[in-house]
Amino acid sequence: MFEPVVDIAPLVAALNPAQRAAVTAPLEHRLVLAGAGSGKTRVLTHRIAYLIAAEGVSPLSILAVTFTNKAAAEMRARIEQLIDVPIRAMWVGTFHGIAHRMLRMHFREAGLIQNFQILDADDQQRLVKRIIKGLDLADEQWPAKTVTGWINAQKEQARRPEQISDQGDYNQNQLVRIYSAYQAACERQGVVDFAELLLRAYELCRDNRDIQAHYQRRFRHLLIDEFQDTNTLQYRWLRVLAGASGVLFAVGDDDQSVYSWRGARVEHMLALSRDFVGCEVVRLEQNYRSTGTILKAANGLIAKNSGRLGKNLWTDGSDGEPIQLYAAYNEYDEAEFVVSRIKAQVGSGARYDENAVLYRMGAQSRVLEEMLIRARLPYRIYGGLRFFERQEIKDALAYLRLLHNRDDDSGFERVVNTPARGIGATTVERLRGFARAQGISLWQAAQIADEALGRSASKVKAFCALIETMAARAQDQLLSKITEDVIVHSGLREHYGKEKSEQAEARLENLDELISATRAFELSALEAPIEGAPELDPLTHFLTHAALESGEQQAAPGEDCVQLMTLHAAKGLEFRFVFLVGMENGIFPHARAVDEGNLEEERRLCYVGITRARQQLYMSYAELRRLHGIEQIGMPSQFLRELPPETLQELRPRVNVSRPAFAAAGSAEVGAARAWRNASDAPERTHLPGNMRAQEAAGFGFALGARVRHERFGEGTVLQFEGDGERTRIQIKFAQTGTKWLMLSMANLVAV
């Protein structure tokens, strides 16, 4: 036990009453229902500091689980700022990181080899694909990506192949057959995938009574962040670790559970009172992020969901401005609106990176990018390829893996012909067949398969000799030197340097950065070894680090620029200005989600999007949108009708429409899309402008029916106008390219 601090007032002085109640709660199970922007991270870190400083709890008896390694590092730093107590021995990390740590310490009991390696998602899929081919199953009928997802889903339910019942279903039986063969291949190669890390750790604690008792005695306090995102396997593992005496302190928000497609189950929050007797709920409802209007909109929307624990966000700050709702003509008009507002905000002193554009589907970004480029505004897509997922980095890591473990089939197959050595797909397939028949790895097969490989045997042997030569040079070398040697002598540097282009230069810079990363890792590994684990060589340690890091989503550092991202990627972030675009039925809520009965999760996702905004929220929908190559009539999202009407202000100007008798076909459908404004179930809008009214097209410069010429689309006839001033647009029926809407100020039309 640590000596408790008598005066804890400084520790809780900055907390509001609800936060203080959570932090200083008795040593009993608690669920902290933390609304968006309510300070959940502060509560979690202060709770750990309080346990140590006020209750005398040893850091050794605390297990804290976060969902990213970055969050774990930040948690450690915050705790050390709060209390002057060494906490290096405290276990803080992700589920996968903690599972890995436990398996390294108990590899024998877990049935693993000491230097087991971790398969990333790509290599797992490659291995599954080889298994499918080896079982003579058709790739078209059994796509490796789909099968891999099914295998991972079984693991997340703690099911091994032999535990899946035979229901006489052919497809199910084939999937089980693939799963069995895949499991055997992983055992033979000494590799585990991400789902296997968790399953193996769960089985270790469940089935080994001594180990179970050890960790139940050690971890008397389990603190879990983002509890709403736990899957079934993680929840079961926590229950085993807690046992009868462990105290669970879970922090989460059922209204932000948006990862069911990853296996997350919001139902776990509802099950806590059943599985952890005496668990009480503490609600954090005071929001420190958004204006009162934004919170009122979020509360009104999420109240439509059933089966939630319930809370009501509030702020002691100002109400702020209404949510600005823009009804765009099409996706280009929508993107132009976004760009114009960002330019205005930056012109008033805001930074570009204070603006975020959120969308439901990645395909929506194309037009936004086009308009940002046209306006010369800097931007980036948040969540692009991460460092360890880049092709050249994965190639270098595959070589390093082979240096460490020759039986790593995934690494062997990735680089046996990279750079090209004349070892084609036919040769590799022959080698696979020989290895399968003998029950050995590809490396072992390469040593004795001369007859099967024929004339290609010498090329395969030369590749193996290269690996052995690099391995010999690696003896007693620093990790960074090994990495540099591999990049040069494998031929990767020459391979990627042949093409003289910016992309090739970027690849070479990435390879150089890998060397820098291994050097930095050498230093950090010396400072923070894994407690209690067998001493690992630096290469094993780094390869594990790289595999774990590749499973995380991290924002790449960059210049001041507009942030574009999906709504899922936006979770956990906040911005001064947020644009929520594509608010149309079929897009958001997504048609597939509605068909599958996931409307409530879509509503939670919208709630997440709304609560990302600190100062101003913009929402927009398009009456016409070309998506996936098809022009669609857009009906405004039902979520817009679920927002309290007083929180909205429509930005579209009073629309003046002039339609000649020969108006283009389709205007009736567009009118139907607009009719939502007057629908009986639409909210009453005291702020909104009146309905569209027809009038003569005076002052537009062209008469209705006039003949005009456009430099790109050719000659056409003016059909109608809409809008006022600079936002006036003109509809023209072109002889060669059909009917189009153009912004009059940008159209460059000439009368014929």
Q: Residue 723 region, left (φ>0) first, then alpha (ψ -120 to 50), else beta?
A: left
Which one of the listed residues 226, 229, 334, 408 is annotated catalytic? Answer: 226
- CA 741-743-748 angle, to 5 degrees, is 105
Which one of the listed residues 19, 30, 40, 408 is annotated catalytic? Answer: 40
Report the relative pairing of strands 750-751 and 707-710 from DSSP bridges: antiparallel
Which one of the listed residues 265, 289, 612, 727 is annotated catalytic? Answer: 612
Catalytic site includes residue 615: no
Catalytic site includes residue 256: yes
| Burial group, residue 465, by CB count within 10 angstroms (0-12, 13-18, 19+) | exposed
Catalytic site includes residue 40: yes
Q: In the block, which residue shows the tokens 């490659």?
A: 126
* Beta pairing partners, 33: 252, 283
Report the relative pairing of strands 91-94 and 117-118 from DSSP bridges: unpaired
Catalytic site includes residue 169: no
- 461 vs 690: CA distance, rounded Å: 79
3-state helix/strand/coil string of 200-233: HHHHHHHHCHHHHHHHHHHCCEEEECCHHHCEHH
Which one of the listed residues 256, 364, 544, 563 is annotated catalytic? Answer: 256
Cα-Cα-Cα-Cα torsion 412, 418, 421, 427, nearest 10 degrees, comes to 50
Give the contacts of 615 (CB within 8 A, at least 6 positions apart): 291, 320, 321, 576, 577
Rg of the chain over all Cα atoms, to the nearest angstrom: 30
Which one of the listed residues 20, 24, 41, 477 is annotated catalytic? Answer: 41
Catalytic site includes residue 217: no
φ and ψ at residue 136, rounded to 5 degrees: 60, 40
Task: For 17-74, list the strands marked E by DSSP.
Answer: 30-34, 62-66
Give the contacts of 695 (CB within 8 A, at least 6 positions apart): 656, 657, 658
- 673 vs 668: CA distance, rounded Å: 9
Cα dist. 181→64, 119, 122, 164, 211 in Å? 36, 16, 18, 14, 29
Catalytic site includes residue 226: yes
Q: Cite the active site residues.
A: 40-41, 225-226, 256, 612
